[in-house]
Structure 1
Amino acid sequence: MKTEITAFQIDLQDNVATVLAEVKADEPVKLIGGREEEIVAAATDIPTGHKIALQDIGSGEKIIKYGVAIGRATANIPKGSWVHLHVIQSIYDERSGHLDVKTGAPKDTRYE
């Protein structure tokens, strides 16, 4: 029997939630946190610990987590999609556009 996949929505205003296990496209994801139960269908694969869009988010719109804006969408993000460095820009860290999507390591710094 497959374990139910869950995502934690920290604040009711959040438009993203954090998945607690790896998600494959088309899998149902149950939201937990301070809301009534809801299921969101994953539109894309999403790695463990990353964000899933709880609604359609337009390019330029704020990404809300913890009840505050943490970034802006750099592309349209459909509901259920992976929300990470490839589609958002941090409003706190100007270098976020230079980070590797998978590892978060800086791509603009050379280590010797």
Structure 2
Amino acid sequence: MESTKKKLKSAFVIHQKDNVAVALSYLNKGDKCIVRLGESERVITVLDDINFGHKLACTAIEENESVLKYGEEIGRMSTSVEKGRWIHNHNMYCERGLK
């Protein structure tokens, strides 16, 4: 298993409350990705091409549900997504700066 882990791409979760991880390299659709939070890790199958630094859904997130990064809401989903999907401005919105 250790040699398999070295071949997998990775992403990390910044805060334990987060439902997204940050891609540490370009992730291709179909990649197996190690998602780390502190000492814990799990493998998620990537369902979309995701650029370095962009967000990967760690769980299914429903329409209008909060997107959590840094332990804070950074926006809400404009559509439901499955675990492993790319999260960006094409499928989330933020009202924070509009109020």
TM-score interval, smaller chain: 0.7 to 0.9
Structure 1, unpaired ranges of 5+: 95-112
For 1:41-56, what aligned pairs fall within 5 Å after superposition? Answer: 41-56=45-60
Task: Calculate percent identity across the aligned residue pairs.
Answer: 32
Distance 2:40 2:60 in 1: 20
The one-letter code sitting in structure 2 at the alignment partner of 1:67 is G
Report how far residue 13 of structure 1 moved. 1.0
Which structure ranks higher in relative contact order (CA pairs < 8 Å, sequence separation ≥ 6)?
2
TM-score (norm 1): 0.77
Structure whose residues are more often helix by fraction: 2
Structure with bigger gyration radius = 1
CA contact (8 A) 1:16 1:54 kept: yes
- The runs of 4+ residues in structure 1 deviating greater than 6 Å are none
For structure 2, which runs of at least 5 residues remain unmatched after alignment?
1-5
Match of 1:4 among 4, 8, 24: 8
Give TM-score, length-normalised by structure 2.
0.87
* Offset from partner CA, 1:52-80 (integer Å, 9 cap, x none): 00000000000000111110000011110
Aligned length: 93
